[in-house]
Amino acid sequence: MTTTSRKNSGITKIAGGIAAALLMAAGAATPIATASAQASSSSDYRNVISNNMRACAPGGGPSVRVTINGVKNSNGTIRAQVYNGTSADWLESGRWLNRIELPARRGRMTVCLPVPASGNYAIAVRHDVNGNGSTDIRTDGGAMSRDPSINIFNLGKPGIDKTRISVGSGVSSIAVTMKYFS
């Protein structure tokens, strides 16, 4: 399994793991890699990119400025990924479009996720507290676009209808709140 595949499987696991755990508990200088046109096979356009906030400046886009609230501590890494807004792609291993990874900073962080074109997308954020690349549901945190609530009868990941956002040709802004088991 490649490093990208190992790390990507972690965000998928954290979505279901955080949901279940919560229920139990109640700009670098490198240029942004631009994704190619949306297609059915995301392997053609997965990009690990720098957090270039210029892409979210006035006149930029299409992109999503994501304010991440409630980062528990400054340990480990934050990973934000954007997916096509379809159930076939949402949180599926290897189906993300762009990913940003950066050191965690307690409190509030902001990232800019470019998207290939206007359309529907969903965003997942993961805090890998110990930076081991594995999902540790008792310590790691997660958040998703539209901050879906966790339903006691739905222990899996929130569906795309609860996380999908519409992005136009400019910059869209959203805020997400991290959720942790402990």
Range of the domain at 126: 3-180
How far is it, in rounded angstroms, from Cα 142 to Cα 160?
Answer: 16
pLDDT above 50 for 96: yes
- CA-nearest of 137, 159, 138 to 149 is 159
Arithmetic mean of pLDDT, 149-170? 82
- Indicate the residue type of 158: P
- Indicate the residue type of 136: D
Return the bridge partners of 67, or none.
110, 175
Q: Does residue 83 contact residue 8 with C-beta atoms inside 8 Å?
A: no
φ, ψ for residue 23, nearest 5 deg:
-65, -40
Digit-coded pLDDT (tens) for 20-59 = 333 222 222 223 333 333 333 434 557 999 999 999 999 9
Digit-coded pLDDT (tens) for 105-151 = 999 999 999 999 999 999 999 999 999 988 888 899 999 999 997 65
Average of per-residue pLDDT values in the chain = 79
What per-residue confidence (pLDDT) applies to 155?
Answer: 59
Arithmetic mean of pLDDT, 147-166? 80
Digit-coded pLDDT (tens) for 65-79 = 999 999 999 999 999
Return the bridge partners of 63, or none.
114, 171
Q: How many domains does the chain have?
A: 1
What per-residue confidence (pLDDT) applies to 45?
Answer: 59
